Amino acid sequence: MEDLISAAAAQFESLLREQLARQERMEKGAARKDFASAGTITIGLIDGDGIGPIIMREARRVLAKLLEEEIASGWVVLREIEGLTLENREAKGQAVPDEVLTAIRGCDVLLKGPTTTPKGGTLESANVALRRELDLYANVRPVAVPEEGIDWIFFRENTEGEYALGSRGIEIPGKLCMDFKVTTDAGTRRIARTAFEYARANGKTNVAIVTKANIMKKTDGSFSRIAREVAADYPEIEVEDWYVDIMSANLVNPAVRSKFQVFLLPNLYGDIITDEAAQLQGGVGTAGSANIGDSCAMFEAIHGSAPRKIANGEGEYANPASIIKAAELLLRHVCMADKADKLAAAMRVCTETERRVVVTGHRDGATCAAFGDYLLEKL
pLDDT digits (tens, 9 = 90+) for 300-352: 988 889 999 999 999 999 999 999 999 999 999 999 999 999 999 999 999 99
**Domain presence at residue 366:** yes
Q: What does the pLDDT read at residue 94?
A: 95
Residue in 203, 193, 206 with CA at minimum distance from that of residue 262: 206
Band of residue 364 on the pLDDT scale cut at 50, 70, 90? very high
Determine the 3-state secondary structure of 220 from DSSP.
helix
SS (H, E, C) 298-333: EEEECCCCCHHHHHCCCHHHCCCHHHHHHHHHHHHH
Query: Which distant-in-sequence residues (6+ apart) come within 8 Å of 24 by Cβ?
Result: none
Q: What does the pLDDT read at residue 247?
A: 98
Q: Where are the alpha helices (H) located in 74-183, listed in sequence order? A: 86-92, 98-105, 126-133, 161-165
Q: Give the C-alpha distances (Å, rounded to integers) separating 78 from 60, 106, 139, 253, 333.
A: 9, 12, 23, 43, 16
Judged against a pLDDT cut of 80, whether residue 38 lies above it is answered with no
Higher pLDDT, 219 or 2: 219
**Domain presence at residue 106:** yes
Buried b (16+ CB within 10 A) or exposed e, 215-253: ebeebbbbbbebbeebbeebeebebeebbbeebbebbee
Q: What does the pLDDT read at residue 33?
A: 77
Burial label, 326 (beta-carbon count in 10 A; 0-12, 13-18, 19+): buried
Look at the chain and report how many structural domains it folds into.
1
Q: How far apart are CA 214 and CA 356, in angstroms?
A: 49
Q: What does the pLDDT read at residue 39?
A: 80
**Domain presence at residue 308:** yes
Q: Residue 334 belongs to what domain range? A: 31-136+293-379
**Domain presence at residue 164:** no
**Domain presence at residue 339:** yes
Q: How far apart are CA 253 and CA 242, in angstroms?
A: 15
Average pLDDT, the chain: 94
Higher pLDDT, 71 or 287: 71
Rg (CA), the chain: 21
Report the percent of the chain where pLDDT is more than 90: 82
Q: How far apart are CA 75 and CA 40, in angstroms?
A: 5
Q: How far apart are CA 240 and CA 228, in angstroms?
A: 9
pLDDT digits (tens, 9 = 90+) for 250-287: 999 999 999 999 999 999 999 999 999 999 988 777 77
Higher pLDDT, 354 or 37: 354
Q: What does the pLDDT read at residue 182?
A: 95
**Domain presence at residue 154:** no
Q: What does the pLDDT read at residue 29?
A: 77
**Domain presence at residue 20:** no
Q: How far apart are CA 150 and CA 364, in angstroms?
A: 29
Q: What does the pLDDT read at residue 34?
A: 77
| β-pair type (170-172, 150-157) | unpaired
**Domain presence at residue 165:** no
Q: Where are the alpha helices (H) located in the chain, listed in sequence order? A: 2-28, 52-66, 68-73, 86-92, 98-105, 126-133, 161-165, 185-201, 219-231, 244-250, 267-281, 307-311, 321-333, 337-348, 368-378
Q: What does the pLDDT read at residue 310?
A: 95
Judged against a pLDDT cut of 90, whether residue 124 lies above it is answered with no
Backbone angles phi, psi at 94, to 5 degrees: -130, 140
Residue 104: CATH number of its domain:
3.40.718.10
